[in-house]
Amino acid sequence: MSNAPTAREIRLFCDGELPPQEAAAVEAKLREHAEPRARAEFERRLRERVGAVLKAGSAPPAGLADRIREAMTSEEAWASRDPQAGIIGTIEPPSAEPAPHRAWWRGPTRANAYAVAASVVLVAGAVLFGIFGRPIDSWPGRGTIDVAAEAAAAVASEHVMTANSPAGPTHSARYRTRDQAASGLAEYLGAAGRVYDLSDLGYAFLGGDTCDVPRCERGCHLIYRRTGDRPGLVTLHVLPRPEQFELHGSPGLKAFPILTDKITRNQDCPKDVLVWSHGEHCYMLVVSVAQDAEKIALRMQQTLLAGTPE
């Protein structure tokens, strides 16, 4: 069976993605081997059924085409377009209706005068506001979502840097044991903090340290690592003043997508920063192995809610 095509070759062949020479070679192999041939047939039927399922029940609503045509006719650009070009060729132009009426203020000669007048008003307004308006320090702070998102972005970045640190994730960690970390958190954050035991999930506690997170007076982070076949890194940031992270909706678990393509070394890429608050702290969790993230977060939340000691 060593000559048989691989599953990947079969899929590429079935998808028509192989160059002609390779396709011919795979086709020849398929003639010789029954099992890969059955697999190729399976791939073909699967594509056919997926196509049928996705096509069924997805016809556009009856009035949609008319609605779009109507919107297009109201586009000022319509009248000046060449009906033979590009997209227009695929869309029926409106029937003999008059060209859309041009708004009075869009007249070519008036437009410049109005633009100049508007600019003068804007500049004058800005100057007056600068003189008589409120000082910027007295403005209300940004929304809590913005603050939480900014902190989450910093936490995600911290996670990636920790994972990729050439000197190891905890080379300068202040707390080396869970006991040290627990008392360190309590001392630094001014209230008892929890240092979780994730050993049953395969994650060993590596250490913890204090850190700076934007718009937080102070913060601490804890680092866990799993080695072996499925290595993973967990960072948990514990931040004070949860009121500024209070998120809209339920007080439960929230996820901020990590908008980065940085892949942590030898690990999966974390997908979200999971955020929740409890008592006097806000918790921001990043887990390299995405499948473990929710499990670990819910476990930590439940521990907090139950008030059970770790």
Interacting residues with another protein between 270 and 289 (CB under 8 A) = 271-272, 274-275
Given the complex with another protein, which of 198 and 275 has the nearer CB atom? 275
Distance CA 153, CA 169 (A): 19
* 204 contacts: CB under 8 Å, gap ≥ 6: 198, 224, 225, 226, 227
CB of 174 to another protein, least distance (A): 31
End-to-end CA distance of the chain: 54
> Does residue 294 touch another protein according to CB under 8 A?
yes
Given the complex with another protein, which of 88 and 201 has the nearer CB atom? 88
Token pair, residue 20, equals 């002609």
Residue 38 CA, chain-centre distance (Å), reads 39
Q: What are phi and psi of 235, to 5 degrees?
A: -120, 135
> Does residue 305 touch another protein according to CB under 8 A?
no
| Interface with another protein: number of residues (CB under 8 A) | 72
Q: What amino acid occupies position 141?
A: G
Furthest C-alpha separation in the chain? 87
Given the complex with another protein, which of 171 and 295 has the nearer CB atom? 295
Distance CA 37, CA 119 (A): 71
> Does residue 8 touch another protein according to CB under 8 A?
yes
Token pair, residue 237, equals 């940031």
Question: For residue 152, which of 298, 286, 248 has the smallest C-alpha distance?
Answer: 286
Site residues for another protein, 32-91, by CB under 8 A, read: 35-36, 38-39, 41-43, 45-56, 58-61, 64-65, 67-68, 71-72, 75, 77-78, 81, 85-91
> Does residue 15 touch another protein according to CB under 8 A?
yes
Q: What amino acid occupies position 83?
A: P
Interacting span for another protein (CB under 8 A) from 101-109, 128-136, 185-193, 291-299: 291-299
CB of 70 to another protein, least distance (A): 9
> Does residue 245 touch another protein according to CB under 8 A?
no
Given the complex with another protein, which of 61 and 307 has the nearer CB atom? 61
Residue 62 CA, chain-centre distance (Å), reads 35
Q: Mark 132-161 with x for binding to another protein (rule: CB under 8 A) and - for no binding.
A: -------------xx-xx------------
CB of 19 to another protein, least distance (A): 13
